[in-house]
Structure 1
């Protein structure tokens, strides 16, 4: 066996400061240099997930990073995935399979075991690649959690990885973020921090040079660079933090047709709709507060990690009434995964998969009925819709059966095994459809077909959207980072370890 890969860790002063972006950029920069590089995040908490070629589930962010590294995603890149089902509970996915439904307290009782499992996954990656770029989670200075940390400084110490600390200047207090983080760490942990990246700068970057000087003098550590906001390309978001504060929408303020996505409390896999977000001539908006929907060309109910709870929220919030009125008025509704389940007559949970056992009445817009039950379905799925070939993935608990409606999609292959199956349902008038398939809009022809079905035939999606658009964005991200950061100094951290002969 050759040398193990060396590691570099990208940790943060908080959540959503830019760790995933910096990790993705380093993966693409190293891949462009011919280095065999892989991403790694010991523990991810997100309802945005995807499926590997083996039919196993992992965090969507690490799939994005694997794409940036030009390698196939593997669950060793994200051995522990937490999918929140409530404010205090999550489904724990271990090595790609649903393992445990745990409260926050019971999960922490498993931390020693999960740290061993994550270290073993990291070791397997290090035996296959030359460099592993490790991503942290949240803040690396949560003092109440540090003793049982499996993803931040403890993981970096295990890998002997120098740490790049990312801070977000846009949220304010960047000096306190950096100095305060260091103040919460022991002297040994402070030594792990090799330097800083400051993210999301607005304005004339030259005016911030005194700030850079102050940080470097105060900490005796380098600022590797300051990343300005970018708007000329798009990288998938890791989780729903990016759509937490959705703006209000009024048709009077828009000059193009719009599609609405209902922002459910337990929304999952909202990146399904990124291709629509970037389709010229189309406005995609997320709606949280109930409002009249008549002005929208289409309305989407997205995936949910807690279907029955979100169904109840639709009823209690007033959204159910708005959705039914929209459908009765001839509106076009699409449900994806959990959203598809909600469109049916009933969602049954006899085993208490999502909470208390019981049944919840659906919206009744499709003639289907769902029973939530194990095992969890996780597949890469090849399909055709109206003669258009596509590839997506399925992640769902339970089964949905047709009670009289027509299937929507022909399934041709799951996890590389040929099959003759169907998926989803379409209403008699063709205006309400549902499917379990995520990534539906990654195929331009399928996007165009749906837009035509909802009366927007004049809108033509970019033929390079989906995977091709993502790959182009990774190149733009690498160029953006190379322009504004001292990439050579960051790469020197890696090269010094490689030359030093990592174990």
Structure 2
């Protein structure tokens, strides 16, 4: 029998409790020990996706975790990606390729087959690596969905993986989160849960010692650690929950607005802007006068026509056009770029009902949604400034006037000489299909200068290098506040039970660095 990599599963008491961040921390921690570690999430539901080096699509959280592990992302790390297009439907991406648009009920009918796809992907990873850090989705105790679960305890059971449960104390009710989660599970499902991490703690940890003792007495499992809230570094978020915050425009300094579309996608495009000193990034949901903003951005969308209808019905269409008429600067990325044109046509019903929807009419271009889906890593130039980003879109856009914005130098490593995007006649409206626009300091600096923010200091560190620093800081943070001896014991036990030979030796070597940070 072939040896298989050790596995450890990070599951949660709910959505946005910190599973992705804990998994990222463990990927970097073990990579620093010399362990060949890889992330895995059987099924991801997110419109925040990215492109692998071979031009396939996967969830951005697992791309982040692969970066933290020091390896190239591969679709086996996220074999199934659901990209919601409505309240009850999603595009289903299997092993990096869009397979279909399906309603929730239709998708659930295919769960058995898709579970097999996910298990095969995990098996392939376990033959290539020494340790797999698995991540769950939402709550692992959704009793109405448990018989169709392919990402939480069912997948941990398939891998014989010990489970660490993550709870979020910041949202309140942490004791009920933990005890209630275990109470909802039958005994055979509770058995793999080996310990708990309490995330996002604020205040004096000594004041929580009695709470730790109470939790351990109730669940008969250790609290592996209490992770304090961190603000000195940023890790890309998986869920749009992170941008569901009250709209605040404080002080007198400059602001940049991002329209919070109902089907917003790839909002991590704007993380570099959020890290800038001297400018405030605000996600805007309710229509308002935009005079206060140096620039307004229309982000990516998983349902461009539906979001265009929302802009019109909500009053945003008039607010955006009035902002432009008063001299405002606009940037559209991917779906937001499509919205800036004169029309978005969908003759085949790619996003829903076939038809055509008027755009904002601020760029002389029109879009037709059509297969196949474009997924590329893209090297581009804005005049003399060169950047690296990625494209994920259904559809082709044709400029009917004006001039293109970018030269495309390469896609998926193959040199080319294409054009992308469009510039309005007044130079104040820009659109592009390229995500990751702000990861390149030179590109961000030029754009800021064009919207009157040339005094804002842009760090010379590009996006990937900034993320690398954050992964190091995260691993230090986790090593400081988690009892890594408990985590190590769980990992080594899993490796031993799965007969991992060379992998087990690698893991044992890591113990010299116990408690790193």
TM-score range, shorter chain: over 0.9
Helix, strand or coil at the partner of 1:203: coil
Residue 499 (structure 1) shift: 3.6
More relative contact order in 1 or in 2 (CA 8 Å, sep 6+)? 2
Helix, strand or coil at the partner of 1:462: coil
1:147 corresponding residue in structure 2: 147
Q: Between Structure 1 and Structure 2, how many residues are aligned?
A: 500
1:328 aligns with 2:325: yes
Helix, strand or coil at the partner of 2:372: strand
1:440 corresponding residue in structure 2: 437
Residue 501 (structure 1) shift: 4.5
1:6 corresponding residue in structure 2: 6
1:454 aligns with 2:432: no
1:162 corresponding residue in structure 2: 162
Helix, strand or coil at the partner of 1:374: coil
Residue 172 (structure 1) shift: 1.3
Helix, strand or coil at the partner of 2:137: coil
2:221 corresponding residue in structure 1: 221
Residue 387 (structure 1) shift: 0.8
1:271 aligns with 2:268: yes
TM-score, L = length of structure 1: 0.98
Residues 266-300 of structure 1: per-residue CA shift (max 9 Å, x gap): 00001001111101222111111111111211110
Distance 1:341 1:91, change over 3 A: same
For 2:346 and 2:463, locate their aligned partners in 1 and report how far apart those are by CA, in whole Å. Answer: 34
Q: How does 1:277-296 map to 2 (within 5 A)?
A: 277-296=274-293
1:494 aligns with 2:491: yes
Residues 98-146 of structure 1: per-residue CA shift (max 9 Å, x gap): 0011001000000000000000000000010000000000000111111
For 2:130 and 2:456, locate their aligned partners in 1 and report how far apart those are by CA, in whole Å. Answer: 45
1:481 aligns with 2:481: no
For 1:448 and 1:321, locate their aligned partners in 2 and report how far apart those are by CA, in whole Å. Answer: 29
Helix, strand or coil at the partner of 1:322: helix
Q: How does 1:53-452 map to 2 (within 5 A)?
A: 53-249=53-249, 253-452=250-449
For 2:212 and 2:406, locate their aligned partners in 1 and report how far apart those are by CA, in whole Å. Answer: 55
2:16 corresponding residue in structure 1: 16
Residues 445-475 of structure 1: per-residue CA shift (max 9 Å, x gap): 0000101111111112111141111110011
Residue 215 (structure 1) shift: 1.0
> 1:344·1:362 contact (CA, 8 Å) conserved in 2?
yes
2:503 corresponding residue in structure 1: none
For 1:106 and 1:74, locate their aligned partners in 2 and report how far apart those are by CA, in whole Å. Answer: 27
Residues 16-58 of structure 1: per-residue CA shift (max 9 Å, x gap): 1110000000000000000000000000000000000110000
Residues 209-246 of structure 1: per-residue CA shift (max 9 Å, x gap): 11111111111111001111111110001021111133
> 1:246·1:288 contact (CA, 8 Å) conserved in 2?
no
Helix, strand or coil at the partner of 1:297: strand
> 1:275·1:465 contact (CA, 8 Å) conserved in 2?
no
For 1:208 and 1:53, locate their aligned partners in 2 and report how far apart those are by CA, in whole Å. Answer: 45
> 2:5·2:498 contact (CA, 8 Å) conserved in 1?
no
> 1:44·1:59 contact (CA, 8 Å) conserved in 2?
yes
Residues 244-275 of structure 1: per-residue CA shift (max 9 Å, x gap): 133243xxx32321111000000000100111
- Unaligned 5+ segments in structure 2 are 501-517
For 1:365 and 1:83, locate their aligned partners in 2 and report how far apart those are by CA, in whole Å. Answer: 28
Distance 1:317 1:248, change over 3 A: farther
TM-score, L = length of structure 2: 0.95
